[in-house]
Copies of this chain bind each other. A is one copy, B any other.
Amino acid sequence: MKSEIIAIGSEMLTPFRQDTNSLAVTEKLNGLGITVAFKTIVGDRRKDLVNAIRTALGRVDVLIITGGLGPTEDDLTREAVAETLNLTLRRDATLVAALHVRVASWRMPMPPNNQKQADLLEGATVLPNAHGSAPGQWLDTIYEGYRKLIVLLPGPPRECIPMFDDECLPRLREVAPPRAIAVRTLKAAMIPESQADSLLAPIYTTYTDVETTILAHTGDIQLTLQCAKPTAEAAQARVDELASKIEETLGDYLYSSQDESLEQIVLYYLGLKQATLAVAESCTGGMISERLTSVPGASRSFLGGAIVYSNELKNSLAGVPAETLTLYGAVSPEVAKALAEGIRRRTGAALGLGVTGIAGPTGGTESKPVGLVHFAICDAQGTEAVERTLHGDRQCIREWASQQALDMVRRRLM
């Protein structure tokens, strides 16, 4: 069963607002085995509304429309659905009475345009609104020879979502074919997207019943596997089977099989080994620490560290010898090692991490270009340094560098 969500409201066609109802509605539709194939956002113009509704009815079985049910001139959803399906709108006396009661409770006279909220599509069932004045509507109808379910919901999330939960879900459950959806998200670090795809495409393309999505972002690859089957067990089994093959293929590039972030995984391993970490960051400027401390409870394993942007601070806070800085320059494997070792020594952490590089846009030279970053990690067993030349703008280089650094900690702990 395919569905479409149409969000109605001109404010969602500005640069400043987004439709958010569709996220919660999607989650619940998926839970019933109903796929969301399209989302459309359209303004408060009647002609555009009719166009969007007609288009949706031509391509999906279930149409969820949010917004445009209020009392104002530009609330046109009821009228547009009526026009598209060639249905009449009837003002419902019971609903008008309920609106009067509601408005009276605010000790205000009811403006006449308020009554349009009581206009009911021919054949529709009223969906009571527990949190506002505009009722929703449920229409089970035939359009061009096919059965279509059309649901009209109010736009404000605190009205829309409870109405969807209380009024639509039970009705949809009755009509949706018995089907369950299983989803799993796997994550890998520091493998190029095209390399991941050429390794994985031969595998996942043979699972035609599992939808595989690959998302890449500055050194992070996220694979989402989704499968719909008549039973939850069957869906889960297919997803798990494909997940195992992907895990095997990606080997130690893979850091999470359950959607955890890389910083969560690093903290998890630190906890497991009862180890602590301290960092000395130059070009990443606090990004590694910020990522780690975004996880609640990070303080159990992450001690902190130093942001050593200037050479003086590399020396005074992280204990890099002045002669190492003079001899090799701030961006060098020697300084990365000295940062890792120095911060470990000064903080008493089990692991020390050091990062130094050139984030740009200026400051690069021929031998040390923008994007060159040196990393080092050390523990009681010794120190390991890695060099990377990263691409993109300042923000991108810093994000890649923080990803590489966290991945080194993960690999050291594995």
Contacts and interface: CB of A to CB of B under 8 A. Distances in A.
Contacts of A194: 71-72, 103, 110-111, 113-114
B296 A285 contact: no
B72 A214 contact: yes
Contacts of A156: 216-217
A213 B11 CA distance: 7
B15 A27 contact: yes
Interface in A239-294: 278-279, 281-290, 292-294
Interface in A107-143: 108, 110-114, 131
A311 to B, nearest CB: 10
A16 interface: yes
A100 interface: no
A346 interface: yes
A361 B396 CA distance: 30
Nearest to A205: B73
Contact of A294 (B16, B310, B394): B394
A192 to B, nearest CB: 7
Given A38-B52, A201-B72, A309-B299, A285 B294 contact: yes
Interface stretch (A41-49, A76-84, A379-387, A405-413): A41-49
Given A286-B293, A289-B285, A304-B310, A13 B41 contact: no
A317 to B, nearest CB: 6
A215 interface: yes
A170 interface: no
A343 to B, nearest CB: 9
Given A114-B194, A306-B304, A312-B303, A317 B346 contact: yes
A166 interface: no
A209 interface: no
Interface in A296-333: 296-299, 302-310, 312-313, 316-317
Contacts of A41: 38-40
Contacts of A316: 346-347
A18 interface: yes
Nearest to A183: B14
Contacts of A165: none
Contacts of A285: 289-290, 292-294, 298, 304
Nearest to A107: B389
Contact of A286 (B288, B308, B396): B288
Nearest to A102: B391
A231 interface: no
B303 A309 contact: yes
Contacts of A205: 73
B294 A307 contact: no
A236 interface: no
A392 B13 CA distance: 28
Contact of A308 (B27, B48, B304): B304
Contacts of A361: 296
Given A286-B307, A307-B307, A393-B158, A313 B347 contact: yes
Contacts of A394: 294, 296
A103 B71 CA distance: 58
Residue of A112, A192, A286 most packed against chain B (CB within 10 A) = A286
A147 interface: no
A56 to B, nearest CB: 9
A106 interface: yes
A36 interface: yes
> What 6 pairs between A and B have smallest CB-CB spacing?
A285-B293, A286-B289, A286-B286, A15-B27, A111-B198, A286-B290
12 contacts: A11-B213, A16-B213, A18-B20, A38-B52, A72-B201, A110-B194, A111-B198, A285-B290, A287-B293, A303-B312, A305-B307, A312-B347
